Amino acid sequence: MARMTSLDRWVHHHLTGEQRRAKPPGPILLTFVTAAAAVWVCVKRNWWPSPFGAHTWADPLLAHLVVLVVLAVTGLVWAIRTLYVLGRDRRWSWWILPAPVIVSAAFAFVVWGPSTTFLDKRSEFEAIAVDIRENPGSSRDEFEIGPFDINRARGGPSGEVYFVDNSTIFFSFTSGWVYSPEHEPDGLGDVDFSSTHLDGPWYRYESVYRD
What does 154-195 look like in DSSP terms, one character per residue? EE-TTS-EEEEEGGG-BTTEEEEEEE-SSS----SSSEEEEE
- Judged against a pLDDT cut of 50, whether residue 1 lies above it is answered with no
pLDDT number for residue 85: 93
- Judged against a pLDDT cut of 80, whether residue 172 lies above it is answered with yes
pLDDT number for residue 211: 62
Q: How many CB atoms lie within 10 A of CB 15?
A: 8
pLDDT number for residue 198: 94
Q: What is the rounded distance in angstroms from the CA atom of residue 157 to the CA atom of residue 83?
A: 63
107 burial level (CB within 10 Å; 0-12, 13-18, 19+) = middle
Q: Which residues contact 109 (CB under 8 A, 6 or more apart)?
A: 41
* Cβ–Cβ under 8 Å, residues 185 and 178: yes
- Judged against a pLDDT cut of 90, whether residue 34 lies above it is answered with yes
Strand, coil or helix: 94: helix
Q: Across the chain, what does the average pLDDT equal?
A: 87
Percent of the chain with pLDDT over 70: 88
Q: What is the rounded distance in angstroms from the CA atom of residue 191 to the CA atom of residue 204?
A: 15
Q: 116-154 pLDDT, tens per residue? A: 889 899 999 999 999 999 998 899 999 999 889 999 999
CA dihedral (93, 94, 99, 101) positive or negative: positive
- Judged against a pLDDT cut of 60, whether residue 89 lies above it is answered with yes
For residue 95, name the pLDDT band (cuts at 50, 70, 90): very high
pLDDT number for residue 4: 47
CA dihedral (182, 158, 184, 121) positive or negative: negative
- Judged against a pLDDT cut of 80, whether residue 19 lies above it is answered with no
- Judged against a pLDDT cut of 90, whether residue 115 lies above it is answered with no
- Judged against a pLDDT cut of 60, whether residue 2 lies above it is answered with no
